[in-house]
Amino acid sequence: EADIYQTPRYLVIGTGKKITLECSQTMGHDKMYWYQQDPGMELHLIHYSYGVNSTEKGDLSSESTVSRIRTEHFPLTLESARPSHTSQYLCASSGETGRQYFGAGTRLSVL
Amino acid sequence: SQQGEEDPQALSIQEGENATMNCSYKTSINNLQWYRQNSGRGLVHLILIRSNEREKHSGRLRVTLDTSKKSSSLLITASRAADTASYFCATDATGNTGKLIFGQGTTLQVKP
């Protein structure tokens, strides 16, 4: 149903590596979001964007950074991954209705 | 502090029974939304109810909203094994311009 895509679906990497999680949507939505979710737990907003060149930190502090150079693309970057970054990362977008559309998520494991 | 709290945290029922999940929140809202998440996947939007609405239906789903008690409930009627998932409420608080705050979710297991 949703036209929002995340890659990769799974990522296992070593400590200290730089990683970028990709998120793209084809719905023309201005608003995009990144959430972090540990297994069986609630979602925590870590970054959001209301349009091109607009990014804000969310409610949960995160060492990751984001960029929004194009409407459809909202990548998340970790400069130096650590085991504490192991989690699932979910990307979402929303339009005028306020309903959010989610990607399938990236499950990150840092060894 | 957490905006949404859900009750129960886990629910196990037989196929054909109804499932009711409750959500409480703390601040005034523009709308409240319910989402479903299958294990390890992204969330799927189920229903949105605005602050001036009291009840909404979608297929086997019925959502109620009581803004005076700051609470909502999701009822799934005639449950099926395929309804097994986690269900989250999320609030769009007044002034938050689209950001959602999610509850911790209710894990529903429907036994065939």
B57-108 residue pLDDT tens: 999 999 999 999 999 999 999 999 999 999 999 999 877 678 899 999 999 9
Interface check for B88 against chain A (CB to CB < 8 A): the answer is: yes
Q: Cα(A81)–Cα(A73) distance, rounded to whole angstroms?
A: 22
Task: Looking at the complex, report in whole angstroms how far the Cα of residue A88 sits from the nearest Cα belonging to chain B.
Answer: 8
Residue of A nearest to B105 (CA): A42
Report CB contact under 8 Å: A105, B42. yes
At residue A48, does pLDDT exceed 90? yes
At residue B1, does pLDDT exceed 60? no
The total of other beta-carbon atoms located within 10 Å of residue B111's CB is: 11
**Tokens standing for residue A45:** 């907003």
B68-103 b/e with 16+ CB inside 10 Å = b? eebbbbbebeebeeebbbbbbbbbbbeeeebbbbbb
**Tokens standing for residue B48:** 């949105």
